[in-house]
Amino acid sequence: MPAGGECEAALTELRAWLDTIDVGPVTDAPVDDAEPRILLYPLALLPTPAIARPERGSTTAQVELHVLLTAVGGDPQERACLATDLALHVLTSGRWTPRSEQPASETWAALGLPPRPALTLEVRVRRTLAAAPAPPVLEPLRLDSVPIRALNGRVVAANGVPLAAAVVSLEPTGPTVTSDHRGRFTVTSGTPSPVRVTVLARGLRRSLTLPVADDGGLGDLVLEGLGATPSATSQEV
């Protein structure tokens, strides 16, 4: 469609509807003379939000064109009756949306006409834009998987006594588990060796970096005094 084609099409549709209701000839010249006519005069433009239709691969941009409809020519009574007849046609058709406010005095002054009965219609002008096509997939989709395994260990005090209910967390985002009555715990992880572990038991919190054995073992996590002393297979950080 050529530039401005959507607006021209919308106004042509409005003119064609005015012809079907036969209220009189239509003009775009705001001039009072002997013959009563309907004045069709675009006044304002109001952008509205675009409507995206992903399922159709398109976006519709639209604006509201505010169009003044009133009567020119003839005497004031003829103009008032013609404008009233037009307003009744608009309201009963349900095809157009009239605005409730009357044109401002500045509008009449700009048109060079004295104020008179009138109505302003909201005429929607739309343009549909096709969305850019998605780039073709040139290679098969590849997913890189990370093996998940169970890591196990035991939390004990310095004297070797198992610590139950110790909270063991893998950093930085977990998961978190609690040791059983024998101090043992098992946690799943896809993190390669070494892993960073935080232990909380009886008010003591320590972070350790621990190597992981082939069978997923972390060894004993030994808590001594106010610190955590890892076993020979672990290193405190």
Name the residue with higher pLDDT: 133 or 46. Answer: 46
User: What is the model's pTM?
Assistant: 0.52
Burial degree of 143 (CB within 10 A; 0-12, 13-18, 19+): exposed
What CA–CA distance (Å, rounded) separates 196 from 70? 80
Residue 95 in domain: yes
Question: Of 130, 161, 185, which residue sits at a domain end?
Answer: 130
**116 and 216 co-located in one domain:** no
Kindly state whether residues 83 and 191 are assigned to the same domain: no
**Domain match, 168 and 93 both:** no
Mean pLDDT of 216-224: 86
pLDDT of residue 237: 37
Confidence band of 67 (pLDDT split at 50, 70, 90): very high
Band (pLDDT 50/70/90 cuts) for residue 2 is low
The radius of gyration of the chain's CA atoms, rounded to the nearest angstrom, is: 40
Last residue of a domain, one of 76, 100, 130: 130
Identify the pLDDT of residue 147: 75
What is the total count of domains within the chain? 2
pLDDT digits (tens, 9 = 90+) for 151-185: 999 999 888 889 999 999 988 777 899 999 999 99
**Which range (12-21, 84-93, 121-130) has the least confidence?**
121-130
- The domain in which residue 16 lies consists of 5-130
My answer on whether 9 and 96 are in the same domain is yes
**Local structure of 185: helix, strand or coil:** strand
Q: How confident is the model at residue 230 (pLDDT cuts 50, 70, 90)?
A: very low
pLDDT at 1: 52
Distance of CA 235 to the CA centre of its chain: 49
